[in-house]
């Protein structure tokens, strides 16, 4: 019985090819939109997670200035509150695996006749491990370089590309604020960060050299701290807060002149945010599937009207209510499934295409997941069933005598 109903439904669809194709188009667009948009959302989520996790979930960032309050601008003095002595005290705390001071500013860097504006960051020898940098060539800054305030530099791939153009940078001399620096190493590429910033557009120099010779300051912009283990990160954050309050003579916690960002908390927040974004994109795309379902219902109602005499003849020959309903439901589901299949293929193509376009524009990627494709197919079939029920029931309830006299 089902085979006969399917064959009749298929014959009806073939007889009205253009109408069937146009009806499928709504489902095709809906499924393609769901797959493409959810893939973009998953890609954004993965990029952010990879970028944050590359720093490690056991990372703390100690920064000068009071915790940000909406509408309140931190005082200039509080932004200079973090000193080298604070970093040295923090690095001696129990539970600290590694720590590095950090100071940075943007400068024009010159090599021969070429120049490039980049971020010049002052760091310690621990910074490579703290931020998970690896070397492509040469070596990173050593403790001796820091102690002796040497003019040495480690450059990122973007700087290499724009200043050296095929030359080996190691051993070459670059100038920052007209101060000569010898390149001792080249970093491996890290790509874009969580905010789309180019992490490879950077030059690292000893923080002692940066503070005294380049920037002329006696304060730090940040201290990176790596906890010995993930479980002890909250306790370590509390210990750092207490230490800095004692060192800065702060008795009221509301008057802190520093703030600490916990990478573990940031990761959890970002996962929730990107998950909500992906769900929202999927919901927006699913609306187009519902619109496609309305199109199916509309075209099936037209089909019922056109085939009123056919339905009357079938009922007169003994076709039951169930047989008529089954035939029209199968037609609706076939349209949905074919639209879903074509939409899935188009959606995957759109996802890959969007991935390349977004990658070229911003460095982000898309992630096409099998569950998303399966869910889209299932949803398209459900749409066919739901929106095919009313036309199918209307057809099955037709009075055979009235149907035979229908003009």
Quick: pLDDT tens for 280-329: 877 777 787 777 778 777 777 777 777 777 777 777 777 777 777 777 77
Reply yes or no on whether the pLDDT at 36 is more than 60: yes
d(CA 269, CA 52): 11
If DSSP codes are grouped into helix, strand and coil, which group holds residue 8?
A: helix
pLDDT of residue 148: 93
Continuous segment of H or E residues that includes residue 214: none
User: Where residue 337 falls among pLDDT bands split at 50, 70, 90?
Assistant: confident
**Identity of the highest mean pLDDT range in 57-66, 178-187, 225-234:** 178-187
User: For the chain, what percent of residues have pLDDT higher than 90?
Assistant: 23
Continuous segment of H or E residues that includes residue 41: helix 17-53
Cα–Cα distances (Å) from 301 to 86, 240, 256, 393, in that order, read 76, 71, 70, 10
Reply yes or no on whether the pLDDT at 364 is more than 70: no
d(CA 205, CA 203): 7
- Please state the rounded mean pLDDT for residues 343-371: 66
CB atoms within 10 A of CB 53: 12
- Please state the rounded mean pLDDT for residues 179-186: 94
Beta pairing, strands 96-111 & 173-176: antiparallel
User: Where residue 195 falls among pLDDT bands split at 50, 70, 90?
Assistant: low
**Identity of the highest mean pLDDT range in 20-34, 133-147, 361-375, 386-400:** 133-147
Reply yes or no on whether the pLDDT at 107 is more than 70: yes
pLDDT of residue 70: 47
User: Where residue 355 falls among pLDDT bands split at 50, 70, 90?
Assistant: low
User: Where residue 340 falls among pLDDT bands split at 50, 70, 90?
Assistant: low
d(CA 67, CA 86): 18
Residues 205-256 pLDDT 10s? 999 999 998 998 988 999 998 888 777 788 888 898 889 988 988 888 888 8
Q: Which residues pair with 59 in a beta bridge?
A: 226
pLDDT of residue 4: 64
pLDDT of residue 383: 77
Q: Which of 301, 302, 305 is nearest to 403 (CA)?
A: 305
Beta pairing, strands 152-155 & 179-187: parallel
- Please state the rounded mean pLDDT for residues 35-53: 71
For residue 41 the two structure tokens come to: 């959302």
Asked whether 28 and 341 are in contact (CB, 8 A), the reply is no
Report the chain's mean pLDDT, rounded to a whole number.
Answer: 79
pLDDT of residue 72: 46
User: Where residue 170 falls among pLDDT bands split at 50, 70, 90?
Assistant: very high
d(CA 206, CA 198): 21
User: Where residue 68 falls among pLDDT bands split at 50, 70, 90?
Assistant: low
Asked whether 25 and 334 are in contact (CB, 8 A), the reply is no
Domain residue limits, the chain: 2-52+268-404, 97-229
Q: Give me the torsion for CA of 181, 184, 190, 193, rounded to 10°.
A: -30
Q: Between 114 and 32, where is the model more confident?
A: 114
User: Where residue 141 falls among pLDDT bands split at 50, 70, 90?
Assistant: very high
User: Where residue 169 falls among pLDDT bands split at 50, 70, 90?
Assistant: very high
Residues 80-105 pLDDT 10s? 788 899 999 998 888 888 899 999 99
User: Where residue 356 falls among pLDDT bands split at 50, 70, 90?
Assistant: low
If DSSP codes are grouped into helix, strand and coil, which group holds residue 106?
A: strand
pTM: 0.61
């Amino acid at each position: 019985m089902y085979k006969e109903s399917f064959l009749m439904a298929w014959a009806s669809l073939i007889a009205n090819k253009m109408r069937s194709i146009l009806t499928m188009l709504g489902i095709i667009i809906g499924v393609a939109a769901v797959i493409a948009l959810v893939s973009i959302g998953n890609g954004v989520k993965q990029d952010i997670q990879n970028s944050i996790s590359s720093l490690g979930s056991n990372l703390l960032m100690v920064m000068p200035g009071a915790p940000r309050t909406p509408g309140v601008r931190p005082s200039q003095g509080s932004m200079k509150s973090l000193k080298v002595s604070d970093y040295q005290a923090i690095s001696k705390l129990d539970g600290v695996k590694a720590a590095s001071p950090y100071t940075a500013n943007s400068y024009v860097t010159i090599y021969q006749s070429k120049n490039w504006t980049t971020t010049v960051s002052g760091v310690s020898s621990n910074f490579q491990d703290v931020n998970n940098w690896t070397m492509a060539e040469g070596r990173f800054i050593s403790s001796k370089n820091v102690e002796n305030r040497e003019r040495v530099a480690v450059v990122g791939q973007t700087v290499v590309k724009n200043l050296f153009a095929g030359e080996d940078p190691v051993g070459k001399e670059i100038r920052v604020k007209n101060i000569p620096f010898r390149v001792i190493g080249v970093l491996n590429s890290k790509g874009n960060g969580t905010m789309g910033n180019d992490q490879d557009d950077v030059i690292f120099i000893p923080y002692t050299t940066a503070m005294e010779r380049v920037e002329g300051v006696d304060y730090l912009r940040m201290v990176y701290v790596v906890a010995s283990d993930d479980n002890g990160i909250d306790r370590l954050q509390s210990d750092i807060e207490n230490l800095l309050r004692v060192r800065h003579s702060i008795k009221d916690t509301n008057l802190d002149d520093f703030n600490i960002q916990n990478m573990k908390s940031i990761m959890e927040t970002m996962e929730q945010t990107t998950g909500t974004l992906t769900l929202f994109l999927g919901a927006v795309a699913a609306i187009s599937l519902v619109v496609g379902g309305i199109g199916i219902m509309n075209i099936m109602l037209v089909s019922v009207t056109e085939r009123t005499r056919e339905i009357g003849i079938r009922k007169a020959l003994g076709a039951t209510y169930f047989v008529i309903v089954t035939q029209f439901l199968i037609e609706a589901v076939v349209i949905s499934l074919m639209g879903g299949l074509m939409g899935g293929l188009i959606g995957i193509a759109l996802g890959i295409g969007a991935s390349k376009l977004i990658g070229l524009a911003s460095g982000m990627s898309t992630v096409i997941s099998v569950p998303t494709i399966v869910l889209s197919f299932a949803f398209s079939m459900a749409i066919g069933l739901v929106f095919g029920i009313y036309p199918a029931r209307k057809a099955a309830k037709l009075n055979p005598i009235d149907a035979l006299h229908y003009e």
